[in-house]
Amino acid sequence: MSDDYFLDCDTHFSDHEPRMWTAITDEVALPALPEVAEHSGQLRLLIGNQLFPKPEGPGQGNPRGLGHLIGPGLDEDRQKFMADNSIAAATLQPGFVGLSFQAVAETDLRVALAEAYNLLASRACAASGVELRWAVLLSVEDPGWSHRAVERHANDPHLVGAVVRPTARTAAVRLSDAAFGPVLRLLAERELALFVHGGTGCYQWSPLADAYASYPLTHTFGHMGEQMIALTDLLTRADGLPDALRVVLLESGVSWIPPVLSRLDSHVRRLSSGAGTPSEAFRKHVAVAPDPGESHVVWALQEIGTDNVVFGSDYPHWDTVRAGEWGTAFGQLCPMATLWENTQRFVPRLVESVAVGT
């Protein structure tokens, strides 16, 4: 496959369609089905008795609810978007259900939703007329189940990684927990990338976003704040990160990363006896998907290094990144050949599956 084409690490699965869930009720035992409900004139996802995105109050989500999509995210519109933007293959990341399920307190329902999501995502890729790949949805709150989920799907030819929320339902569960170590080691062994993807209004533990009941502020601080916690938890794990593990931060901005890494390095050097620094671990293990609309992003990428850059469109969300915008902003800094090399390093199954398919 020519490196004139993009490999998209961040496109979204339209996983809120009720018909998808009713079609698999004979295969997965779901105590409650995700539904679409109207609230104050907007459509929202309903899981149990919670509406997503959260309509109001601290940590609220998008006021437009499910209405912020620029397309349905089905094969027809996705095919046109991929062709128009020279995208050879795209990795499905969670939609409304996958980004919200972790907030469900009941373990049985939480795990059943994730199992059903994985079944639907796998089948969507297998049945698609375009080159779609997927990431198995994991729950940091349920590490044993997550390990089994990776084992169950690891040989799926369309699988390229696993995806987690940056934070779990409460502060009691973290990506730094020793219990999640076996999952990280399994991902490294199977050459599966760990995608970390947040979303506002999902009732997660999000200490910065939870301080505000205003969507402009929850969106400003939610993604960045949650990813800051996740990145710190991963880079400072007591047992370190598996040598071959690769992590991709999605949809969180980039410009905050260099100063945070610098501050972490400074404090680790002065206040602990750790052998390495967080910035060294970052350069080895972590990639970012920059947004050309972000202020100071070029400076941040120069500080981080262009070897840690991959492409993500975020289609079909309202802030979709198009190839022309990306090329104008980052094309000279990170040419397509470099972008492919980076993707090979961080998401090897994506590159290999595309090469096999040509």
**Which residue ranges form the domains of the chain, and what is each CATH number?**
12-357 (3.20.20.140)
Contacts of 27 (CB under 8 A, 6+ apart): 119
| pLDDT of 98 higher than 80 | yes
CA 187-342-310 angle, 5° bins:
90
Q: What is the pTM of this model?
A: 0.96
Contacts of 357 (CB under 8 A, 6+ apart): 89, 131
φ and ψ at residue 197, rounded to 5 degrees: -140, 125
Report CA torsion sign: 208, 209, 214, 219.
Answer: positive
Per-residue pLDDT at 79 = 95
pLDDT band at 1 (very low <50, low <70, confident <90, very high): low
| pLDDT of 358 higher than 60 | no
By the 8 A CB rule, do 15 and 74 touch? no
Per-residue pLDDT at 267 = 85
pLDDT tens column, 116-144: 999 999 999 999 999 999 999 999 999 99
Per-residue pLDDT at 2 = 64
